Amino acid sequence: MEKFMLKAGLVAAALTAGQGLMAPAAVAQESAATRLSAGKIDKDQLLFNMESVGKLLESSSAARQVESSKAPEALARRDRAREIYKSAKASLNAGDLEKANSQLAEVRAAFFEAVRLAAPEEVTAKKLEADYRARLDSVNALLGAYRRVASEKGSASKTVSETVAQIDKSVAEAARLAQGGKYKEGRAELDRAYLVAKAGISSLRSGDTLVRSLNFANKEEEYQYEIDRNDTHQMLIKVLVEEKRAGNPMLDQQVQGFVARAKELRSSAEAAAAKRDHAQAVKLLEESTVELVRAIRNAGIYIPG
């Protein structure tokens, strides 16, 4: 049984702590999992849940927060939750318990979004600042780790210095934006720096000395490491290259070619892993990541790899 005792202060505290409200998709997934694990839906329990959600919508402190906010987006989302709630009650009265239960999950998701949209501006601002500072701490920690790994491996100073310069540039731009109160935009710059630092570390630990550096227990463990490297570079494509390729058809075509090849190699790697051939899977993943690095460098962006 889910209890909803959302108070404005609790919402503000959750936002400030960087936790936020549960995303609609997460709520739906959780509810689906609960239904599957519970098996047959209990009508009495569903009736109780229906009543609880009704109170949440109309008489809870969260409902009052949404109403008093007068925020058009929040009110629209609240009204949508009310509409779905009416449909859920109709489904329940018609005896369709599965549908009613599913619709209740949609009601909660829509209402939680309404509460988020109704959060006071100062609360949202505090959360953005907290997120920015948390990400800055992560970047600094990762940059320190990158320098340590580079020192341990005695890597070429030019490669390391170029990577550090790129990270420092993003951090400086983030600081400039933050000083102007643009914490959201500053966080985006820090995300770029974070991914570049992470890619830098993975590139230093790849190649001939990979296994010796990380002491993998087996090829399957190494495969999981290469999956993470590949994921990181895919994210770098999004944060570093998307804007550049949007207004440049020729570059877009070139990037698409590299990315398509990377996806083919990744699919082959996953197929090999499914057959327990992790040695081949690692080799294919490394080749896939190289294609992603080429796509990024082809866009005129230096990245270690």
Does a structural domain hold residue 209? no
Q: Please say whether the beta carbons of 230 and 283 come within 8 A.
A: no
Q: Please say whether the beta carbons of 6 and 21 come within 8 A.
A: no
**Where among 69, 90, 119 does a domain terminate?**
119
Q: What is the pLDDT of residue 26?
A: 40
The two counts, helices (H) then strands (E), for the chain are: 14, 0
Q: Is the pTM of this model over 0.75?
A: no
Residue 115 has pLDDT above 50, yes or no: yes
Does a structural domain hold residue 199? yes
In angstroms, rounded to a whole number, what is the distance separating the alpha carbons of residues 193 and 226?
Answer: 20
Instruction: Write out pLDDT tens, residues 236-286.
Output: 888 778 777 877 888 888 889 999 999 999 999 999 999 999 999 999 999
Q: Are residues 17 and 108 in the same domain?
A: yes
Question: For the purposes of burial, counting CB atoms within 10 Å of the CB of 220, is it exposed (0-12), middle (13-18) or buried (19 or more)?
Answer: middle
Comparison of pLDDT for 124 and 63, the residue scoring more: 63
Instruction: Write out pLDDT tens, residues 128-176.
Output: 888 899 989 888 888 887 787 777 666 555 667 778 888 898 999 999 9
Q: Are residues 85 and 140 in the same domain?
A: no
Instruction: Write out pLDDT tens, residues 177-218.
Output: 999 989 989 998 998 888 888 877 776 655 433 333 456 788
Domain that holds residue 282: 214-305
Question: Which tokens in the block code for residue 120?
Answer: 């006071």
Does a structural domain hold residue 263? yes
| Number of residues that this document lists for the chain | 305
Does a structural domain hold residue 238? yes
What is the count of structural domains for the chain?
3
Share of the chain above pLDDT 90, in %: 31
Instruction: Write out pLDDT tens, residues 28-59.
Output: 444 444 443 445 678 888 899 899 999 999 99
Q: Are residues 93 and 135 in the same domain?
A: no
* Alpha-carbon dihedral angle through residues 184, 187, 189, 194, given to the nearest 10 degrees: -160
Q: Are residues 17 and 95 in the same domain?
A: yes
Does a structural domain hold residue 124? no
Q: What is the pLDDT of residue 69?
A: 80
The whole-number average pLDDT for the span 84-96 is 93
